[in-house]
């Protein structure tokens, strides 16, 4: 599947290995939760980068202690209407401090990219043969946000009250960095 980031189409260096398939000896692989749970030590000992794929009913709390083992976490959208992974993404970023790549996989739709990005996703598996540029253009449709989220964009509320920089919670959003860049969750945001 083609992969996009905010910058456009990118090559995918990762190999996602389904449950039933054997793991290649080397190379960057994304494994399922079951494989990780069954072969933790073996997987952790691999010299190459490791990724994890979570189904929508596998909450991040299941891997809370292992976050730092993974360079990428792929969250599945089994159907576009199943929005569990939005919560998973925010928890991974904001509660568990995951700083690696967060990838949306499965039934990913063009008009959902903006929501996904706000929840901390930074790469998206898209269907073959779609116009990646058109998809990315939908990221910019609405310039105002009403609520704080993982992307640290300043909400209308914050902008209205002009919170000065560095004075506590929320105001980081008034001076956000690249909204696409994965952001480290900090104590200020998990209270």
Partner 1 sequence: MYRYDNYDQTLVSERVEQFRDQVNRRVAGELSEDEFKPLRLMNGLYLQLHAYMLRIAVPYGTLSTVQLRKLAEIARRYDKGYGHFTTRQNLQFNWIRLEDTPDILAALATVEMHAIQTSGNCIRNVTADHFAGVAGDEIEDPRIYCEIIRQWSTFHPEFSFLPRKFKIAVTGSPHDRAAVKVHDIGLRMHRNEAGEIGFEVLVGGGQGRTPVIAKTIRPFLPKRHLLSYLEAILRIYNQLGRRDNLYKSRIKILVDSVGIDRFTQLVEEEWQQIRDGYLDLPVAEIERIRGFFAPPPYRTLDAPVPEYEGALRRDFRFARWVRTNVTPHKRPGYAIVTLSLKPTGGIPGDATDAQMDAVADLADRYGFGEVRVSHEQNLVLPDVAQADLHELWKLLETLELATPNVGLAGDIIACPGLDYCALANARSIPVAQQISKHFSDLTKLLDIGELKIKISGCINACGHHHVGHIGILGVDKHGSEFYQITLGGSADENASIGEIVGPSFGATEVVDAVETIIDTYLHVRADGERFLDTYRRIGIKPFKEKLYAAH
Residues that bind partner 1 (CB under 8 A): 59, 80-84, 86-88, 90, 95, 109, 111-112, 114-116, 118-119, 138, 141-149, 156-157, 159-161, 169-170, 173, 188-191
CB nearer to partner 1: give 39 or 115: 115
CB nearer to partner 1: give 31 or 163: 163
CB of 161 to partner 1, least distance (A): 5
Question: SS3 for 8?
Answer: strand
Of 81, 65, 116, residue with least CA distance to 52: 65
CB of 105 to partner 1, least distance (A): 16
CB nearer to partner 1: give 53 or 173: 173
CA atoms within 13 A on the CB side of 72: 23
Cα distances from 164 to residues 44, 157, 168, 187, 190, in angstroms, run: 43, 13, 9, 19, 20
Task: Give the count of beta carbons closer than 10 Å to the beta carbon of residue 143.
Answer: 6
CB nearer to partner 1: give 16 or 185: 185
């Amino acid at each position: 599947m083609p992969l996009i980031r905010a910058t456009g189409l990118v090559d995918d260096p990762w190999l996602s290995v389904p449950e039933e398939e054997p793991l290649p000896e080397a190379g960057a692989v994304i494994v399922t939760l079951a494989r990780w749970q069954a072969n933790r030590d073996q997987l952790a000992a691999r010299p190459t980068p490791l990724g994890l794929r979570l189904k929508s009913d596998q909450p991040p709390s299941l891997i809370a202690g292992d976050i730092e083992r993974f360079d990428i976490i792929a969250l599945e959208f089994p159907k576009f209407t199943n929005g569990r992974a939005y919560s998973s993404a925010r928890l991974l970023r904001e509660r568990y401090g995951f700083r690696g790549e967060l990838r949306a996989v499965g039934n990913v739709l063009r008009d959902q990219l903006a929501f996904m990005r706000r929840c901390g996703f930074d790469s998206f598996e898209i269907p073959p043969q779609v116009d990646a540029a058109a998809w990315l253009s939908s990221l910019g449709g609405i310039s105002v946000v009403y609520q704080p989220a993982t992307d640290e964009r300043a909400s209308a509320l914050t902008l209205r009250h002009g919170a000065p920089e560095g004075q506590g919670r929320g105001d980081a959003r008034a001076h956000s960095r690249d909204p696409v860049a994965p952001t480290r969750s900090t104590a200020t945001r998990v209270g």
